[in-house]
Amino acid sequence: MQFVRSSVNLKRSVMVGWDVLAWALSFAAFVLVRFDLELSDRVWQGALAYLAAAIVLQVIAGFRFHLYLGRSRIGSYDEVTLLGSIVLGIAVALGVFFSVTQPVFSRGLVIAMPALAFLVMAAGRWVFRATVGTGRRNRNGGVSPTAKPALIYGVGDAGHQVARLVEIAEHPPYSIVGYIDDDPAKRYLRVRGQRVRGRGDDVVHVARSTGAEIVILAVTQATPQLLQALSERCKSAGLDLIVVPPVREMIAGRVELDQLREFNVADLLGRRPIESDLSEISDYVAGKVVLVTGAGGSIGSELSRQVSALGPARLVLLDRDESALHAVQLTLDGSGLLDSDDLVLCDIRDHAALTKVFEKHRPDVVFHAAALKHLPMLERHPEEGWKTNVLGSVNVLRCAHESGVRHFVNISTDKAADPTSVLGQTKRLAERLTAWYAAETGLPYLSVRFGNVLGSRGSVLDTFRAQIERGGPVTVTHPEVTRYFMTIPEACELVLQAGAIGRPGDVLVLDMGEPVRIVDVARRLIDESDKDIEIEFAGLRQGEKLHEVLLSDAEKGAPSSHPLITQVSVPHLEPREVLVEDADVPSLVRLLRRPSSLKQPADSTPMASSW
């Protein structure tokens, strides 16, 4: 410890000494070149006084603004900027003072001497940084024998950070042999001695010519198309693809070597940074009683976790699955004792039981995530989809309205846009019912619509992994089928943000990025497994679309205050239109099967009015 302190003190002393010497050298150079050392006594006195004042002010300002106390890395842009500001301040202050108080004084000294001093100071720091950098690179005797030759794809900030980290690491896992970048303006750029050798299309050729075994993708917002194309090129050439993590996974936006990881299926989603206004979200959640239906599901449990972090007065978790409630309680507080009154076992189909829950807890905010969601199952059992997604939603909305809920967020799906399936039709009805209650109450009762959630329970990811574990084949419906994907945390964060900015009756559509081909997801998972698994195409199932849409042809999206959220309107649907005594559910379900049954303009008669 004493040695470290001595080393730091020595470095500070050297910096102070160098800056003092820089002023002295600039003074000597100026009077030698300008006056050939032939100055009158009065001019010598003034010039020496100027030098002494400049040195004193340099030392005082250097410590006052922490220039000599490690505020910035030596030779960094921040440090040189601070140094320049100090020298400029000294030049202006002393120039004004000596010009006013010294009638015989060299005006050229005021202009030239600070500039020369700054150049000498900056040059010394440049030499120090270059020398120290070389020392770090060579202290292990050159490149580590275990380091694998790598190309860096992208020479932006992330690429420069990766190059620097590799350069100064004690035992770097990679040795950089070149760079790739798609920007033609960077064709002749060199980074730490290595040049840009080509564009993305040249990656295989460049790798072979340089002996690279690894490609490091240093593009923090790469598109799914770029990722997939690069992955296929690397795979065909036997190259390992390593990616820099998305910005949201970094600490303060900085890359660390141990954060670099192999390309995986989550990277196919793209890398859009999500910026949420936590103050907006906190305003309607913090200190409030919040109820989450379907709290044991993938979306419901993550919503519960994020809401819990925002400090609600109470968080009530409702689900009909006791095991799911047990799991979410373990996640939130680690107890799993199922002994809290805020854990509610209830089916949203049971209006009487639901009414008691709302009367007891009196929630201020409701997130309605309970639903049946598996499209093929609902095509086989449409009555169940009707009972849960439509009648169950009516029950939750009625109870919320009667108990004075001030904020209601209905979780919907992209399949509600131009619905062709029972799932899409029933979720579309839930959106319209929510809009009706919003119109009746004038309160922010709204719906949030998004696509598939990567890694949710029963998602395509689970299916593919299970098939791979069994040895295949992996079944995909169609080679060109695409879907929108988000990660669970992304989706829930935007749901919370949408709830904060939504107006009564809104359907808020989350930006899902670019659609991803399902077959690409399957291939990525197979690649990760290192198994030889075949892909079989089974054909689209009843109610399935080749490509999902986030907005129907009849819907016109309008921008919201958040760049990743779009607002649309849906026609209202009065609850009495679906709550018909002795309703002929099979007839209603048959209507649901007709793709055109819900495609109507916003001012048309509600669909169920003829039932």
- Indicate if 351 and 495 belong to the same structural domain: yes
- Indicate if 246 and 381 belong to the same structural domain: no
Q: Give the H/E segment covering residue 525.
A: helix 518-529
- Indicate if 497 and 370 belong to the same structural domain: yes
- Indicate if 411 and 360 belong to the same structural domain: yes
Residues paired with residue 437 on neighbouring β-strands, in sequence order: none
Q: What is the pLDDT of residue 357?
A: 97
- Indicate if 43 and 111 belong to the same structural domain: yes
Q: Is residue 528 situated within a structural domain?
A: no
**Range with lowest mean pLDDT among 4-8, 193-197, 408-412, 544-548:** 4-8
Q: Report, as an integer, the average pLDDT of 338-356.
A: 94
Q: How far is CA 514 from CA 37, 434, 451, 549, in A?
A: 72, 28, 11, 11
- Indicate if 116 and 176 belong to the same structural domain: no
Cα separation, 344 vs 357, in Å, equals 8
Active-site option among 186, 288, 373, 415 = 415
Q: Is residue 477 situated within a structural domain?
A: no
Q: What is the pLDDT of residue 252?
A: 41
* Cα 287 from chain centroid (whole Å): 27
Cα separation, 265 vs 430, in Å, equals 32
Cα separation, 509 vs 413, in Å, equals 9
On the 0-12 / 13-18 / 19+ scale of CB atoms within 10 A, 477 is middle
For the chain, count helices (H), then strands (E).
Answer: 19, 22
Cα angle 513, 517, 521; round to 5: 100
Q: Is residue 531 situated within a structural domain?
A: no
- Indicate if 260 and 335 belong to the same structural domain: no
**Cβ proximity of 159 and 191 under 8 Å:** yes
**Cβ proximity of 301 and 328 under 8 Å:** yes
Q: Is residue 498 situated within a structural domain?
A: yes
Q: Is residue 327 situated within a structural domain?
A: yes
Residue range 102-116, pLDDT digits in tens: 766 667 777 888 999
Q: Report, as an integer, the average pLDDT of 546-561.
A: 80
Cα separation, 219 vs 216, in Å, equals 9
Q: Is residue 81 situated within a structural domain?
A: yes
- Indicate if 157 and 129 belong to the same structural domain: no
Chosen domain end from 269, 300, 334: 269
Cα angle 552, 554, 557; round to 5: 70
* 598: confidence class by pLDDT, cuts 50, 70, 90: very low
Q: Check which CATH number belongs to the domain holding 384 and give it.
A: 3.40.50.720
Domain span at 248:
148-269
> Considering the entire predicted model, what is its pTM?
0.64
Q: Is residue 458 situated within a structural domain?
A: no
**Range with lowest mean pLDDT among 203-207, 289-293, 405-409, 550-554:** 550-554
* 532: confidence class by pLDDT, cuts 50, 70, 90: confident
Hunting for tokens 């009487």 — which residue is that?
352
- Indicate if 113 and 211 belong to the same structural domain: no
Residue range 461-508, pLDDT digits in tens: 778 888 998 998 999 989 998 887 878 888 898 899 988 999 999 999
Cα separation, 83 vs 241, in Å, equals 42
Q: Is residue 166 situated within a structural domain?
A: yes
pLDDT > 70? residue 261: no
Query: 254 vs 13, which has greater pLDDT?
Result: 13
Relative to beta strand 314-319, strand 289-293 is parallel
Q: Assess whether 415 carries a catalytic annotation.
A: yes
Nearest to 58 by CA among 21, 33, 96: 21
Chosen domain end from 138, 159, 183: 138
- Whole-number CA gyration radius for the chain: 33
**Range with lowest mean pLDDT among 143-147, 346-350, 467-471:** 143-147
Buried (b) or exposed (e) across 358-389, using 16+ Cβ within 10 A? Answer: beebebbbbbbbbbbbebeebbeebebbbbbb
Q: What is the pLDDT of residue 174?
A: 86
End-to-end CA distance of the chain: 83
- Indicate if 440 and 310 belong to the same structural domain: yes
- Indicate if 178 and 89 belong to the same structural domain: no
Hunting for tokens 């005021």 — which residue is that?
110
Chosen domain end from 220, 235, 269: 269
What contacts 587, CB < 8 A, 6 or more positions away? 611
If you write DSSP's letter for every residue of 300-338 in order, what string do you get? HHHHHHHHHTT--SEEEEEES-HHHHHHHHHHHHS----
- Indicate if 116 and 166 belong to the same structural domain: no
Total tally of structural domains belonging to the chain: 3
